[in-house]
Structure 1
Amino acid sequence: MLAVALVVVLGVLWWVCSSWRDLVSGRGAGLLPGVRAPLLLIAHPDDECMFFAPTILRLLQGQRPLSVLCCSTGNYYNQGETRKEELIQSCAALGIAPSNVTIVDHSDLPDNPTVRWDERLVSSLVLNHIQEKDIDLVITFDERGVSGHSNHISLYRAIRSLHSSGKLPEGCSVLVLESVNIFRKYISILDLPLSWFWRQDVLFISSGRQYTQAKEAMLHHQSQLAWFRHIYLFFSRYMLINSLNFLHDKKAEKEN
């Protein structure tokens, strides 16, 4: 049994190594040719590099003026002021100017894994930001929020509501980051074959240099660097791979 497992792992590694260059350049920013002003919608400082670094780096590679809207200061352990500064530094390391980073500090949007944020409040804040920045693509979490965090899921529910009710500006699309099972989440580069052949609308895969850049960005979140996050940086596939899907109008899909 061990021998079979070893053969499988070696086979996957061979496939990854032989296909890496094609994978990195294959399916990504080229699928979003009309996007002018993308917005990354996150819940906490460090979400940007822990979950969305491959997306950020590939979009910036395409010279797009990416904005970030963070809906809390990450004040769960009363570190909000520190974490705001860490987010600015992390975004700068990824290539995002401080002027393109907006952090919401609202008492009704606490950093808490058990609190579901008010959908109307989040929707209003997000819509105002979209209109102000003339955003034409919003990127955020899907309905499982990658880690099941209630704040992450609240963002999905808010943007889903705006999308389904037709309140988003004409031409503004939404991409949500696919949540995978815990096995796939922590096999890092070994998830490449599954990600490549799994059905999704957009797939971003980081190069080795981009992976290093993402880790450097995370190192700016010093207040969050507990031992288990170092393990996350090494094993999480989200540091290398982002698979995303567009939100579609369910009513239109049924009519078609």
Structure 2
Amino acid sequence: MPAIVNRLRSPRGLTIFLLLPILMAAFCYYTLSHLSTHPPLRNRNIALLIAHPDDEAMFFSPTIQSLVSPSLQNTVQIICFSIGNAEGLGTIRETELLKSASLLGVPNVNYSVITHDHPHIQDSMIKSWPEDLLASLISDSLRDFREDSGGEKGVDTFITFDKGGVSAHPNHVSLLRGAKYYLRHYPKQNEVLLYTLNTVPVYRKYISILDAFVTTLLDSVRNGAKDEEEGVEGYNGAPKSAMFLSNWREYRTAQKAMTEGHKSQMVWFRWGWITLSRYMVFNDLVLDTDLS
């Protein structure tokens, strides 16, 4: 402790100590200013496609909590394609998903969350899932959602993993192929947009909220000039990207969705994830218009 005090008393140490809060404030201001230039997803009927119970909390909690805000007038529903039965806990995990979704703000979870348990689509770290079968289950789920809502306008937006699947998990990666297969081959009530969650390198996964600054800075460098020329809207007037940054309350809610919702999954390494992962506090989505 005396050594630290002596360093702070030195001109260099004092300068660094005084600059840190200024730099942090500048980082926050830049990040929030950049986020404000991204139009929100509004008035959409959204289906979040996940592979396992707990994906919604571990990877998509900032997205869910933002999109369920009443001011945006979205509907948010979740399709989970397995019960996560790799360790024989499928029945427990299916119930945990409903509790987690409710904590994250998804309304009427008994009608807004569908979980599948198909024999050919099971939780596996080594097996990919057939895209045509996933598309069939998507079609069945969307029909059930329409019936539960009294035949109102169907889903017009998918959100799922990108081709990196955050962790290269084959089940995660399969969902993108299944969603694209559905969009290519199935008749739809309306045009469906597809947004994917950006996979970042491993050294950025565990810097928590700091990656919001890194992401917005990279986004500004890569797309700033192009956006000025072409605008921020993509296909059919939809935003080309969407970014969601949680506040402290939302971050703590995301953690509770794991610690209180998915109790069966809280092994030691997941404590590190819910504390350090950027996906617990920040999501960036990209509009995917390539259906090949």
TM-score range (shorter-chain normalised) is 0.7 to 0.9
Show the 5 A alignment for 1:31-180: 31-35=40-44, 37-61=45-69, 62-96=72-106, 97-98=108-109, 99-133=111-145, 134-165=154-185, 167-180=187-200
CA distance in 2, matches of 1:31, 1:144: 24
Task: Give the count of matched residue pairs.
Answer: 244
Aligned to 1:254: none
User: 1:216 is paired with a residue of what secondary structure?
Assistant: helix
What do residues 104-158 of structure 1 show as CA deviations (whole Å, max 9, x unaligned)?
0111111011010111111111123234431010100001111111100110111
User: 1:140 is paired with a residue of what secondary structure?
Assistant: strand
What do residues 196-231 of structure 1 show as CA deviations (whole Å, max 9, x unaligned)?
133371111111111111111111111110111001
CA distance in 2, matches of 1:233, 1:15: 26
Aligned to 1:246: 287
User: 2:128 is paired with a residue of what secondary structure?
Assistant: coil
TM-score using structure 1 length: 0.86
CA distance in 2, matches of 1:137, 1:159: 11
Structure 1 pair 78–246 and aligned structure 2 pair: CA distance change class (3 A): same
Aligned to 1:211: 251
User: 2:124 is paired with a residue of what secondary structure?
Assistant: coil
Identity, % of aligned pairs? 35
CA distance in 2, matches of 1:27, 1:221: 35
Point out the structure with max Rg over C-alpha. 2
What do residues 50-109 of structure 1 show as CA deviations (whole Å, max 9, x unaligned)?
000011011001242210000000001000011011111101111112221111011111
**In 2, are the aligned partners of 1:12 and 1:193 still within 8 Å (CA)?**
no
Aligned to 1:16: 27
Amino acid at match of 2:75: P
CA distance in 2, matches of 1:12, 1:233: 25
Matched, 1:232 2:273: yes
**In 2, are the aligned partners of 1:27 and 1:202 still within 8 Å (CA)?**
no
CA distance in 1, matches of 2:193, 2:133: 20
Deviation of 1:169 after TM superposition, in Å, equals 4.3
CA distance in 2, matches of 1:149, 1:181: 14
CA distance in 1, matches of 2:140, 2:76: 17
Aligned to 2:202: 182
**In 2, are the aligned partners of 1:13 and 1:190 still within 8 Å (CA)?**
no
Structure 1 pair 227–44 and aligned structure 2 pair: CA distance change class (3 A): same
**RMSD (CA atoms):** 2.5
**In 1, are the aligned partners of 2:31 and 2:216 still within 8 Å (CA)?**
no
CA distance in 2, matches of 1:86, 1:52: 16
- Long gaps (5+) in structure 2: 1-11, 146-153, 220-239
TM-score using structure 2 length: 0.76
**In 1, are the aligned partners of 2:52 and 2:81 still within 8 Å (CA)?**
yes
- Long gaps (5+) in structure 1: 252-256
